[in-house]
Structure 1
């Protein structure tokens, strides 16, 4: 019943996460290459003892659900601890499973009636997945009111009036700096270039900047001068607009000269993690690796270009999606809902995520508390400047051609204007 589930949420928020995050709950082992099947009749307690906690649990049988994710190692371990904590305090079983290629797996398994009840990803898949029939509307079944989350988070988990997920964090890219190499973060691009020049020595494996040049990471500058990738209100592309091209020129002129030649994620990340670059432009998901590599890092908002321009990076809301597999039986659905409600409103879990991984809370009680870690404050400044990724299904066709166009220009194989005009033509052909 609803009242009982609210009681569970309240009790778990006060006790469960503390024990798990203190290391009192072991980390479960998950095969990253497996595709677990789910049983709607997952077991509860094998013994006959009845605890006070069990007496407050919702009516109905115990449920087992699988949660697919594609998290980095440190974040994966935290999620597994949280899942074990939830499982130990309820009759339900939460089973997180790492999937190497989450998009490929979800788009093949869910339509085939296989896969997980929930998966963990940013909000940009919402429109596409809902229209393709992959997601379940839980509007009438959730106990948590969406008003407890920030307004952008409320909007992110809904599409066409359906609530298909619950949100737990916002994220975007910011400026990460090595405090052993940089005293104060630069406020302008010009200041940043000056520092990069000082440290750039590629012949000795030293670089000025670690910066993966994919479409998401580059969005801050494409939007900085009034440009845009995609206007979902009018279903209109802006890649070849002069204001957008000005942003790409900024990257080519100010950042590319100070980076390793291979601008893919792993080579760029390695430079900063090895202590061989003063700056990284990356997101909160990177902080776990930064910390584990012993780098003392600070986080600041992205520096400003000259004039009135401001970086406006794409922002995303991280959320737990409900797939159509959750509808197979009520026990599975109840287990998945209760975990999602608990995970997204538990201040201990959310505070730990903020402290350890730089997740920006979207649960209002914590987001508006004024008591967030310095790393989160740094990223939150970039979030405040940013713009949400469109969740329109057509947005999915923008990323690939955009990156192909930019790389062709960066490699000297095409001119900027013509490359992005071709990208727009390719995208429109895909739409048709």
Structure 2
């Protein structure tokens, strides 16, 4: 049943690059190295493969899906879903009108499995070994592999090297440097990290974890344990956030959120930005000299642990062409050509090692973000993670604005527990 996507023509690759090029530093897709291997015919289901994806991935995948359709004698349809992709997929799956393949984040796995909407994918041990280890770990749930990963993303510290030539060794060193630059009138902000009026657990988590904070206990196998909520035990971590928000320090501000943090850094108003690969295009456009390193830890603290997210291809359990979907996900999109097309559409480090090597050769930032994520952990994929964001964010914003850390942690823990128990 296995075919390779290596029979793509140069013209086809040109279409992909034309659709998705993000700059002259983008690597070209890898050339084909052999003709597709002969294999038994794939069960074609109803003769149609339906894929749901967001707008960026729709454009990148279209030429490849057309080629897959020709090779297998089927029609391939990509439906562009711009909003509420997960909810729309779950609803359609229950109604029997969903796709055969879904492209989405790995941390949806728990909810999708709980709703019986995706099947395990049949990756061989050899195929798994071709991916970054953390990518396979992220798509493994309950001992089974539920997706074919294609991109890995995590936060790093992006530094304006004209203002801060050296990477800070600790959070304290970063704050001291930022304060000195502000006092000298070179910046208006000590640190650019999204907080916003409602908090932002994702972006603050490296600091929170370094200060000893956690969200869940762990099971015997080391997975997050949703029966043990530990936010209430993490008052010391919230105390550290409180200290960074205090007047006289001012490193964390609710006035900086996802809508203005990258722009503030790109305009030269701060020397340090905590963000991911998605910020680099704006930083380059602004002409800022920059470098990417790991988010530093507190002096004497635990490692600063960013969440690692993995973009994934899923096989829908209620699709009408399930064998065809398995063929597409396990043996087609695991090809470096496809991985590079997706990289060119949205430059984030590829999960496939061969594609990552190509990306790093043309754009060293990709390797730097991988290094920055070495202490990271996969975003918890358990359904109960959805209950964390809002209460945690409220607590985070409260302590940064001067609220009592112990009370904020306790209130968040109570709200999370109640939401999970509903």
Normalised to the residue count of structure 2, the TM-score between the two structures is 0.77
User: 2:50 matched to 1:65?
Assistant: yes
Q: Which residue in 1 is equivalent to 2:238?
A: 245
SS at match of 1:119: strand
Superposed displacement of residue 338, structure 1: 1.6
Superposed displacement of residue 216, structure 1: 1.2
8 Å Cα contact 2:245/2:252 also seen in 1: no
User: 2:114 matched to 1:131?
Assistant: yes
Q: Which of 126, 151, 161 pairs up with 1:169?
A: 151
SS at match of 1:185: coil
Superposed displacement of residue 126, structure 1: 0.8
> 286-295 or 414-423: which moved more?
286-295
Q: Which residue in 2 is equivalent to 1:87?
A: 66
User: 2:379 matched to 1:389?
Assistant: yes
8 Å Cα contact 1:272/1:280 also seen in 2: yes
Aligned equivalents of 2:420, 2:145: Cα separation in 1: 26
8 Å Cα contact 1:221/1:250 also seen in 2: no
Render the CA deviation track for 1:380-419: whole Å, top value 9, x for unaligned. 122111122222222221121111111222334x411111
Superposed displacement of residue 302, structure 1: 1.0
Q: Which of 321, 345, 351 pairs up with 1:329?
A: 321
8 Å Cα contact 1:9/1:342 also seen in 2: yes
Superposed displacement of residue 424, structure 1: 0.8
Aligned equivalents of 1:184, 1:354: Cα separation in 2: 29
Q: Which residue in 2 is equivalent to 1:40?
A: none
Higher relative contact order (CA 8 A, sep 6+): 2
Structure 1 unpaired stretches of 5+: 28-51
Q: Which residue in 1 is equivalent to 2:276?
A: 283
Aligned equivalents of 1:250, 1:353: Cα separation in 2: 41
Q: Which residue in 1 is equivalent to 2:25?
A: none
SS at match of 1:84: helix
Shift in CA distance, 117/379, structure 1 to aligned 2, threshold 3 Å: same
> 351-360 or 163-172: which moved more?
351-360
SS at match of 2:410: helix
Please give the residue correspondences for 1:133-212 in structure 2 after superposition, counting only pairs within 5 Å. Answer: 133-139=116-122, 145-200=127-182, 206-212=188-194
8 Å Cα contact 1:80/1:96 also seen in 2: no
User: 2:297 matched to 1:312?
Assistant: no
SS at match of 1:236: strand
8 Å Cα contact 1:178/1:279 also seen in 2: yes
Aligned equivalents of 2:353, 2:10: Cα separation in 1: 20
Q: Which residue in 2 is equivalent to 1:425?
A: 414
8 Å Cα contact 1:397/1:427 also seen in 2: yes
Aligned equivalents of 1:143, 1:9: Cα separation in 2: 20
Shift in CA distance, 274/108, structure 1 to aligned 2, threshold 3 Å: farther
Shift in CA distance, 199/88, structure 1 to aligned 2, threshold 3 Å: farther
Aligned residues between the structures = 389
Q: Which of 64, 72, 95 pairs up with 1:112?
A: 95
Superposed displacement of residue 175, structure 1: 0.7
Please give the residue correspondences for 1:215-254 in structure 2 after superposition, counting only pairs within 5 Å. Answer: 215-233=201-219, 234=225, 235-241=227-233, 242-249=235-242, 251-252=244-245
Shift in CA distance, 96/337, structure 1 to aligned 2, threshold 3 Å: farther
Render the CA deviation track for 1:190-241: whole Å, top value 9, x for unaligned. 332233224448x999433321121111111221143311124243122122
Aligned equivalents of 1:232, 1:255: Cα separation in 2: 37
Superposed displacement of residue 264, structure 1: 2.5
Shift in CA distance, 264/102, structure 1 to aligned 2, threshold 3 Å: farther
Aligned equivalents of 1:354, 1:250: Cα separation in 2: 39
8 Å Cα contact 1:222/1:246 also seen in 2: no
Structure 2 unpaired stretches of 5+: 22-34, 220-224
Aligned equivalents of 1:134, 1:59: Cα separation in 2: 22
Q: Which residue in 2 is equivalent to 1:402?
A: 392
Please give the residue correspondences for 1:253-264 in structure 2 after superposition, counting only pairs within 5 Å. Answer: 257-258=250-251, 261-264=254-257
Shift in CA distance, 60/385, structure 1 to aligned 2, threshold 3 Å: closer
SS at match of 1:176: strand
8 Å Cα contact 1:225/1:309 also seen in 2: yes
Instruction: Tell me the C-alpha RMSD between the 2 structures.
Output: 3.7
Superposed displacement of residue 163, structure 1: 3.5
User: 2:365 matched to 1:375?
Assistant: yes
SS at match of 1:378: helix
Render the CA deviation track for 1:56-111: whole Å, top value 9, x for unaligned. 89556553423222x7xxxx2x6513422442464253525141233443344333
> 308-317 or 241-250: which moved more?
241-250
Aligned equivalents of 2:240, 2:103: Cα separation in 1: 31
